Structure 1
Amino acid sequence: MTKQRCLTRLKRSILPVFCLVFTMLGYGPTELYLSNMGSEEFWFSFNEILLPFAVLIVASLIIILGLLMVLPTKGYHVVMAIIIAVSALLLLQALFLPNDYGSLNGEVIDWSQYSGRLVYNTAIWIVVIVGAVFWAFRNWQSFRKVMQFTAVILLVLQTAILVTAGITHPEDHGEAAAKEVYLTTEDLYTVSSDRNTIVFILDAFDSQLMCDLIEEHPEEIKSSFEDFTFYHNTNGGATRTKFAIPYILTGKTNDNGGSYMNYLAESFQKAPLFQELRKGHYHSGIYTEYGYVDCSQTEAIDNLSSGGQMKAVSQWGLCQSLMKMVLFKQAAHILKPVFWMYSFELAQWRGGNGNTEAVPYKLNDIQFYQHLQTEGISAEKKEPVFRFVHMMGAHGPYTMNEDIQKIPHEQGSIKQQGLGSLRIIAEYIKQLKMLDVYDRTNIFVLADHGNREYVHPSYEQNPLLMVREAGKSKPFSISEIRLSFQDLSAMLAESLKSVPNIEEKYQTEGTRYFYVGSTTNNGYTITEYASEGNAYDTDSYYLTGKVYSPAEENSTDYKLGEEILFGDRYGAPAQRYMINGFSYIDPDYVWSSEKEVEFGFKLGDIKDNLLLTIEYHAVMNGFQRCYLYADDQMIGSFSTTKADVRKFIIPGECVKEGMLNIRMDLPDCYNPVTHGTGVDNRNLGLGFYSIQIDSTDEVYEPEKQLTIHKYDLGQEIVFGKDGNMSDYAIGGISEDHWTSGKKAWIQLEEVSADTALTLIMEYNTYKDQQHVIICANGEQIADYTAVGSEQKEMVIPQALLKNGSLTLEINLPDARKPDNGDQRELGLWMRRIVLRKAEEKKE
C-alpha cells in the first residue's frame, strides 16, 4: 500500500474507530459513574479512573488503526462495517433494548427466564452486523459516507447524554460517600485480655439455612458451637442491608421523616449500645460498610479514619471491574453472563487515603480467614473490647466453598458458603480459647436479615441468631423463645458490662415488627409488617398500613413549567410526585404497575387553566386505554398503541388547596405471568418518560380531550376526513380512507350486547386482492382473501366482549408501498364499518 493510500485510509478510519473506542472506554464508564456517583459502590472519585481509561482509549486507537492499515481492501471493508455496526449496537443495547436484569446485588440471574430475549436480541445484533457487512461489500462508497455520518451522530448523542447527566445529577446524592471518613481494619484481629463482646454478622444467613445445616452436619455444628444457643424464633429488624445494619446497632428504623443520613445521626446518638460505648470504657471496632453507620461517632468507634478520601489500591484493577459493569450494560444478551458481577466487587479496590496507614474495611471472608490462619488474633488490649464484624456469610454470589476456598460463582451454593462462614467463626472461637479469653467473651453470631432466595415465601424476617454467654458452659441447644432484633442494641450494651440475661429479660410478648425497605415511588420507603406468630411463619406477618418516607425526598412542591423526568439515569426527579401504582425505576422510564396510577403536585395558589404534558416511551402489549382524572374529574381519555406525547388542558378549579391530584386509569394493563408470556409479575401499562405542568390561556374543551367514545350498535363508522372515523380509529388508518401499514385498529367502548355481534366491513382492496386477518380483543374471527370492492360480514362471539370494550385489529400482511412515491403500505380503502346484533338482518 502506498503512503498516500495509507494516509487516506487512516483519515477515513479515525472517526468510526474513535466512535467504537469512545463508546466502550469513554462514554460507558463516564455515564455509569455519573448515574451512580456517591453510592456505596461508587466510592471513588472520577480522577481515579480518568487516567487509566484515557490511556486505554489512546492505546486502543493506535492498535486498531495500525491493524487496519495492513488489511487487504476487502478485509478492511468488512472490519470497518463491523466497527460501526458494533458501535451503534452497544449504544442501542444500553439505551433502548430491554436491559433490566435486576440489581447486581450478588443474586445469581436465572438466564433461562430470558430465552425469548436471547432469541430476538441475538437476531438484532446479527442482522445489523451482517447487514452492514453486506452493504459495505455491495457499495463501499455509499456505505463509507453513511458510516462517517453515523459515527458523528453516535458521538453527538453520547456527548449530549453525558452533559445532561452531569447537569441533572443531584450534588448531594450519596452524602455518606462524599465524607472523607470511613471504617478501617485497624484492630480487627485484636481482643482484650479482660472482657470481650464479639458480634459476627453473616449477611443473608436465614434461620432456616441454619436449621438445614444442623440437620446435615449435626456433630460438627454442635462441637464447633458448644455453649451456644440458637434462637430459632427470632424476628429480625429490617431488610435489606442498608436498613438492617443500622437497625441492629440502634433498634430504630427511619420513621421520623428525616433523610437517611439524619436517621443515622439521630438513631446512633440515642441507641443504648452507643450511649454505653461513648462512656470511653471500651475499645470499639465496627467493621462494615461505612455508609451504614454514623461516622460522626468518633467517641464510640475507634477504627474511624479521616483526613482524605479513599484511594484505589489499584486504579487498573478498579477500571477492570468497572469495565465489566459497562460491558454487562452494553453487550448483547448472549454475552451478558460473561460480564455478570456483584456491584460490591468495586469495593475490593478500596485503599487508604494516603495520609495514614489505615486500610478501609472490605467484606472478604477468605481474606479474613487467611489472616486468622497466618497471624491469628492477639489479646493485647487491656480495656474491654467490642467488635462488630460484618461478613459475606450466605450472600451471593457464592464464590466460597465449605473449605473456605475461592471458586467460580457458577460452582458455588448457599449451603457451601454458609457452612464455610461458620467454619471461619469456629476458627476464631478456637483462637479465643487458645488465648485463654474465651470464658470472658460474649459472642453473638447473627445475620442482618433472612434470605428470600432460600426461603419461599419470605420477607427475610427470620435471620440467624446464636449467642454464647460468657462464663457459661453447656451443650449446643436450640431455643424457641420469642426474640426481636429491636432489643439487640440494649442486649449488646448490657453484654459490654456483664453477661446478658437473654431468656429472662429480652423475651418478647405480643406483636413483633419487621421493616422492608424499598426504593420504589417516593424515594425510598420503609413498609411495616407485624406478627403475633412465630418468626419463621411468613404467613403470620401482615401489613400494618404504616409506610415511612423521608419528608425531604417526599416533597411534592412543583415549579410550573419544569419538565420532570422519570428515568434513573436522569436522577429520577419524578419520584417525589409518584404517589401510587408505579414500579421500580428503570434507567429511562418507570412502568405503571397497577390499573391506577396517581400523581400529586403541590402548586400553591393557582387560578389559571393548566397544560399537562405526558410523554411515555413504552406501551405494554401494543395497546392501552387511559382515562385521565384531575381531582376526580375526568378531563381526558385516549387509546394508544405506541410511544407518544399527550397534552391536556386541566381546569384551574381542579387545584384544591394548592394541590393537584392526577389519576390515570389503565384498564388494559398486562401481566406477563398471568398470560403465560413471561416471568414479570407486574401489571404493566405505560412506561412514563416525562411529565410537565404549565399555566395556559387555552380553554378547557372536554369534547376534544375525551377521545374514547361510546359506540351504539347499528351506528356506522364512516371513513375519510369528513366521516367520524377519528372517534374510533386509533391507529393504522389515514384520513384518505387507506390503511397505512400492515395493521389497523378500531376501538369501540361501552358496547352493550347480550348476544353475538355481526361485524360488517365495506372496502376496496389495493392491487386487486389482499390477505386479511381480523381479530376481536386479541382473538382471530376471520382469515380470508379480500378481492376488489366488497362488503364482508363476520361474527364476533359475545364472550369476546370485555366489560363492553372491543378492539378490532385488521392485519394486512400483503400491504405494500405504491410506485408513486407514497411511503405508506396500502392494503384496504375503507368505506364503513358497522356492528349489529347477530340475529339482526343487515340492510
Structure 2
Amino acid sequence: MLTFLKNHIRIYLLLPILLFFCTPFLTGLQTYFTNIQEFSAPLTFIFTLWLPLLGLLIFCLFFLMHFLSDKLRTYAIALITGIATLWWIQASLINWDYGVLTGVPIPWEAYRIRLILDTLLWTGGILFFLRSAHIIRKNLAFICLTLLSAQLIMLLPHYLEARKFPPSFQNFSLSEEGKMDFNPKKNIVIIMLDAFQADIFQEIMDRHPEYRDYFEGFTWFRNTTSQYSKTYGAVPALLTGLWYENHMPVQNFLQESFKNSLSTRLTREGWMTHLYPVAPRIIGYDTAFASNIIMNTNPERNARDAGKMMDIALFRSSPQFLKPFWLNDMRWRIQNHMGAAFIRESSEEPAHEKIHYFHPVLQFTAESQSILNAGSKKPTFKFFHFNIPHEPFVLNPALQQERQPGNREGFLTYSMAALEAVHIFIEGLKRTEIFDETLLFILSDHGGGEYNPGVGPAPGLPHKKGDIRPKHHASGLPLLMAKEFGATGPMQTSDAPASLGDVPPTIAAKLWPDRKNPYEGKNLFELNEDEERTRRYLYYEFSGWEQHYLPEMKEYSIEGHAFSPASWKATGRTFPPAYTGKTFKSNGASLPEEILETYCFKNTHPEGILLEGWSGPEPHGTWSERKKVRIRIPAETDETLKIRMQLAPYTCGGTLESQRIILREGQNILRKWFVDKKEEYIFTTAGMKPGPEKEIILELELPDAVSPSACGSGKDGRLLGVNISKLCIEKITAEVEPGTSLTFGYGQAAEAISGMGWHHPEAKHRWTGGQASLIFSLAEKRKRDLRLTLMAHPFLYTDITEQSVLVHVNGVETAEWKMAQTGWYEATIPSDLAEDTMEILFSISHPASPADIGVSLDPRKLGMAVYEMRLEYED
C-alpha cells in the first residue's frame, strides 16, 4: 500500500498547492486581527467556514495536477508557486495605500505609476518562475516551507495584539423580530441618515419646496453642530449622552456608557427597544441594553464578514489591474455570495423566498409599506441607522439603482433619495394612525466633509472666514429635524443653537418632566434663536488608526451660527489615543505606552476607588462634596506608577477662578495643584509605599470647596470642589538617557515624557499652562547630581515683565527661575532626588490667556514656551 502511494500519489504536490491557497488566507487572517473591531464573525466561525472550503479547493487542484504530464506539472508547480510568492510580496512588502475604504470611489487614474509597476512586477515575476521551473521543483520544499513560516511568524504579533481587546459584539446579534411593530399610544423613533449635511438639506428645500410637505409637524434645527466628525464617536454620544475622549479603549467605553443609555433606561421601564446601527461595533452589547440584543450570532452576517475578509485579502494581494474586480464598486466580490448562502429561515418568510435588496434602505421602505403595524403592547423606541447619503452614491430620487457622480451634485441627489425613503416611512406611520403618537427625529451623525462638498451659505448670513478647514467644517454640520408628540402644521425652521447632544435630554424631558434630566444638553423644543451658547465638536479622521482607540481628536468650540466658518474656533485641546501599542524612540526618549487600569466615573462608580467624601455618579462625572476626600489607588506592583486624573473645578458660577488641591499620603504633602479647567492632572507614586492590601490611599484637601447654595448659584447644599470623570493607572516606560537633548515641537521626542499641563505642540515649541510636568525614568542611573537645562521663553504681558518658575523634582523644590526673555535656564538635581523614576513639575507664577488680556483670540492660558531640554550628569 505504501509503495502504491509513493509511486502513484505525488504528495510533494501538496506543498505548492498549500502555499497557493494558504497565502491569501493568512493575509486575510492578518487583516482580521489588525482590524478585529470591523468584523462581527468570531474566529471560530472563520475557521469553520473557510477550512473546509480551502480543503476542497486544495483537493481539486491536487487532483487536476496529479494527472498532468511531468513536464506540464513542473511548469504548473512553478506557476502557482510564483503566484503565491507574488501575492505575499504584494500584500506584505508593497501593500499600496489607497486610504480607508469608506465607500468613496478610488481614483484609479491617479495611481497609474502603481499600475505600471505592478504590471512589470507580475509579468516579470511569472516569467522568472516559469524560466526557473526545474530549479524551483528541486528546491520546492525549502521555498514553500520558508514562505509559509515567514507568513506565520508575521501573523503571530497581530494575533497576540487582537487578543488584548476582544470585541464583545461578536457574541451577540440584533434580532429583527418586531422591527416594524409600534405602539398605538407612544413611540420614539430616531432615523439616522449617515453623513447627511445641513446645507445640502437647505439647497434641496430651495430647489424643491415640495419636500417641505413631507415633513409637516417637524422643526428643522438648521443651526445644529455635530459632536464628532465620524460615526464611531457620534452614535454612542447620541445614544448615551456621554463624550468619548480616548481615555480608555473604545469598546470598553461602549460597554460602560451603554449601562445608562437611552435604550437601557427605557428597557428597564418596560419599553420595547430596538437598535439597528449600520455597523455592529458602534454600540455596547448586553441583553439589558436593548430588547433586540440577543445572545447568539447571525450566520448570514458572519458569512458576509468572512467573505469580506477574503475580499480584502485578495484586494491587498492582487496587482492593481485586478483590485477593482475584488472591490466590485465598493460592494466586494465574495462577501455578497457568502451572505446569500447563509440566509436564515424565519417563520414569516422562508429563506428561499427572502428578497435581497440592493441597499438596506430599500428593505426599510418595503417593510414600511408592507409590515409596519401598531401591534406592540409596549411603548417602543427604535433607532434606525442607514448608510445614506454616505458614499458610494448609488440611488436616484426614485430609489432606483443609479450611480451618481462623486461631487456635491451627486451628494445632493443621493440625499434626495434618503428623504424619499424617510417619507415612505412617515406615510406608513400615518397610515397606521400612529404618526401623532410618535416623537420622531430625523438626523445624521455628521456632515459629508470627507466628500469635499464645501459648505453653502445660510440665507441672511454674511460669509466670514474662520480658522476651520472646509473639510472639518462640513463634517460638523449634521441634519437635525424633530417632531413632538401630536405636532402638526407646516415644517418650521429654527436657527436656535442646537447640538446633536441635545437629543437625549430632549427625549428625557418629554418622558420624565418631573425628574432630574440624566443627560447633559438642552431640550430642543425650549431653545431660543437669540440664545448665546457655546457648543463642542471633536474632529478626527481615520489616518493611521490603531482601532482600539479613535485617532487623535481636535476640539473646536462653536459660538454663533454653525454655517458661518467664523463661529468655529480651535480650542488648542487634542485627545490622542491613550495607548497605541507602539514604541517611539527619538533623541534619547522612548515610550512603549501601557495602561494597567482605567476607571470611569460618569454615571457609574467603580467599586472601591472613591472612598469618603464623594457624591453619587452623574452623567459628567462624580463631585467631591467635602473639604477632604479620599481615593484608593490599586498598586499590584512595587514599580512606580503614573496616575492620571481627569478633574474639573467647581467655579461657583464663574466667581472662582480655580480650586486648590493639596494632595497628601498620610501627613506627607505630595502635590499642590490649581484646578482651573477640565484637564488631566498627573503625578507618580514615587516615594509612596503600597499597604498590605496592595493599595495607596490618598487624601485630597479642597480648601476652596463651596456649596452652590452658599454662593447663590443654586439650591445644592453639597460642598463642591472638583469633579472626577476618569482615573488611569499606567506604567512609566518613557526613558531619558542622560547626555541627550529632547525637543518639544510637534512629533518630537518630548511628547513621550509630557505629563500634565501642556498645550498641543507647535512646529518648534510647546506652551505650558500654569503648571506642567515631565515624567520619565532614567535609562542610566549613577550616584551623581544631574543638571537640567531648559530652552524656554515666558509669556509676558502689560505689567508682567518676568515670570517666576518654580521647579520641583519628585515633590522637592530644586530651583526658581526668573524668566524675562528667551534663553537657557538651569537647575541642579541632587543625586538623592535623581531616582529611577523622575517627575519634574514647573509652576509658572502669572499664566494668562491672550484672549483675556486682549492681545489675540487665543483662549489658552499660557505660562512658558519650551523648545528643548537637556539632562546630563554633573562633572
Given the two structures, how large is their TM-score scaled by the length of structure 2?
A: 0.57
Q: Deviation at 1:514? A: 0.5
CA contact (8 A) 1:259 1:553 kept: no
| Residue equivalent to 1:177 | 169
| Residue equivalent to 1:157 | 150
Q: Deviation at 1:10? A: 3.4
Structure 2 vs 1, CA of residues 98 and 320 (structure 1 numbering), >3 Å: closer, same or farther? Answer: closer
Distance 2:270 2:137 in 1: 75
Bigger shift: residues 77-86 or 5-14: 5-14
Q: Deviation at 1:463? A: 0.7
Distance 2:9 2:308 in 1: 35
| Residue equivalent to 1:504 | 526
| Residue equivalent to 1:734 | none
Q: Deviation at 1:450? A: 0.9
Q: Deviation at 1:353? A: 11
CA contact (8 A) 2:222 2:480 kept: yes
Distance 1:555 1:604 in 2: 25
Cα deviation digits, residues 436-473 of structure 1 (max 9, x gap): 22223222110011111143422210011122233332
Q: Is 1:192 aligned to residue 191 of structure 2?
A: no
SS at match of 2:127: helix
Residue 514 of structure 1 aligns with an amino acid whose one-letter code is Y
Residue 427 of structure 1 aligns with an amino acid whose one-letter code is I
Q: Is 1:16 aligned to residue 10 of structure 2?
A: no
CA contact (8 A) 2:444 2:479 kept: yes
Q: Is 1:369 aligned to residue 384 of structure 2?
A: no
Distance 2:437 2:182 in 1: 11
CA contact (8 A) 1:227 1:476 kept: yes
CA contact (8 A) 1:461 1:536 kept: no
Residue 528 of structure 1 aligns with an amino acid whose one-letter code is E
Structure 2, unaligned runs of 5 or more: 352-356, 455-469, 515-521, 594-641, 643-681, 688-734, 744-748, 765-776, 783-875
Distance 1:339 1:253 in 2: 37
Residue 31 of structure 2 aligns with an amino acid whose one-letter code is L
Q: Is 1:458 aligned to residue 455 of structure 2?
A: no
CA contact (8 A) 2:39 2:305 kept: no
Structure with max Cα Rg? 1
Give 1:286's match in structure 2, choosing from 268, 271, 275.
275
Give 1:431's match in structure 2, choosing from 428, 431, 437.
428
Give 2:101's match in structure 1, choosing from 85, 90, 104.
104
Give 1:486's match in structure 2, choosing from 501, 513, 524.
501
Number of equivalenced pairs: 582
Give 2:204's match in structure 1, choosing from 213, 237, 253.
213
Distance 1:245 1:354 in 2: 30
Structure 2 vs 1, CA of residues 123 and 697 (structure 1 numbering), >3 Å: closer, same or farther? Answer: farther
Structure 2 vs 1, CA of residues 248 and 632 (structure 1 numbering), >3 Å: closer, same or farther? Answer: farther
| Residue equivalent to 1:398 | 393
Distance 1:554 1:71 in 2: 50
| Aligned ranges 1:565-576 → 2 under 5 Å | none
SS at match of 2:27: helix
SS at match of 2:200: helix
Cα deviation digits, residues 190-225 of structure 1 (max 9, x gap): 112112222100111111332333344332x12322
Q: Deviation at 1:88? A: 0.7
SS at match of 1:18: helix
CA contact (8 A) 1:197 1:496 kept: no
Residue 559 of structure 2 aligns with an amino acid whose one-letter code is E
Distance 1:633 1:70 in 2: 70
Give 2:124's match in structure 1, choosing from 103, 123, 127.
127
SS at match of 2:321: helix
Distance 1:92 1:602 in 2: 46
Structure 2 vs 1, CA of residues 275 and 474 (structure 1 numbering), >3 Å: closer, same or farther? Answer: same
Cα deviation digits, residues 265-301 of structure 1 (max 9, x gap): 5544556x46862661643322224533343472x63
Structure 2 vs 1, CA of residues 502 and 286 (structure 1 numbering), >3 Å: closer, same or farther? Answer: same
SS at match of 1:380: coil
Structure 2 vs 1, CA of residues 484 and 52 (structure 1 numbering), >3 Å: closer, same or farther? Answer: closer
Cα deviation digits, residues 296-318 of structure 1 (max 9, x gap): 472x6322223x4x141387655
Distance 1:344 1:265 in 2: 33
Give 1:233's match in structure 2, choosing from 220, 223, 240.
223
Q: Is 1:312 aligned to residue 299 of structure 2?
A: yes
Structure 2 vs 1, CA of residues 553 and 277 (structure 1 numbering), >3 Å: closer, same or farther? Answer: farther
CA contact (8 A) 1:52 1:315 kept: no
CA contact (8 A) 1:28 1:326 kept: yes
Cα deviation digits, residues 697-719 of structure 1 (max 9, x gap): 99xxxxxxxxxxxxxxxxxxxxx
Q: Deviation at 1:262? A: 4.8
| Residue equivalent to 2:92 | 95
Q: Deviation at 1:492? A: 2.1
Cα deviation digits, residues 585-627 of structure 1 (max 9, x gap): xxxxxxxxxxxxxxx999989xxxxxxxxxxxxxxxxxxxxxx
Distance 1:419 1:429 in 2: 15
Task: Kindly report the root-mean-square deviation, in angstroms, between the aligned alpha carbons of the 2 structures.
Answer: 5.0
Cα deviation digits, residues 527-586 of structure 1 (max 9, x gap): 31112232123454232122235657799999xxx99999xxxxxxxxxx9xxxxxxxxx
| Residue equivalent to 1:57 | 54
Cα deviation digits, residues 485-513 of structure 1 (max 9, x gap): 22111112234469997353365523221
Residue 398 of structure 1 aligns with an amino acid whose one-letter code is F
Distance 2:508 2:80 in 1: 62
| Aligned ranges 1:490-639 → 2 under 5 Å | 490-496=505-511, 502-505=524-527, 509-517=532-540, 523-524=549-550, 525-538=552-565, 540-549=567-576, 634=740
| Residue equivalent to 1:724 | none
| Residue equivalent to 1:417 | 414
Structure 2 vs 1, CA of residues 248 and 7 (structure 1 numbering), >3 Å: closer, same or farther? Answer: same
Structure 2 vs 1, CA of residues 192 and 666 (structure 1 numbering), >3 Å: closer, same or farther? Answer: closer
Distance 1:657 1:445 in 2: 43
CA contact (8 A) 1:250 1:268 kept: yes
Residue 138 of structure 2 aligns with an amino acid whose one-letter code is K
Cα deviation digits, residues 378-416 of structure 1 (max 9, x gap): 111344332221112212233444333456799995444
Distance 2:367 2:40 in 1: 25
CA contact (8 A) 1:602 1:658 kept: no
SS at match of 2:537: strand
CA contact (8 A) 2:442 2:480 kept: yes
Q: Deviation at 1:259? A: 3.9
Q: Is 1:35 aligned to residue 34 of structure 2?
A: yes
Q: Deviation at 1:430? A: 0.8
CA contact (8 A) 1:31 1:165 kept: yes
| Residue equivalent to 1:470 | 485
Q: Is 1:84 aligned to residue 74 of structure 2?
A: no
SS at match of 2:471: coil
Structure 2 vs 1, CA of residues 8 and 116 (structure 1 numbering), >3 Å: closer, same or farther? Answer: farther
SS at match of 1:542: strand
Given the two structures, how large is their TM-score scaled by the length of structure 1?
A: 0.59
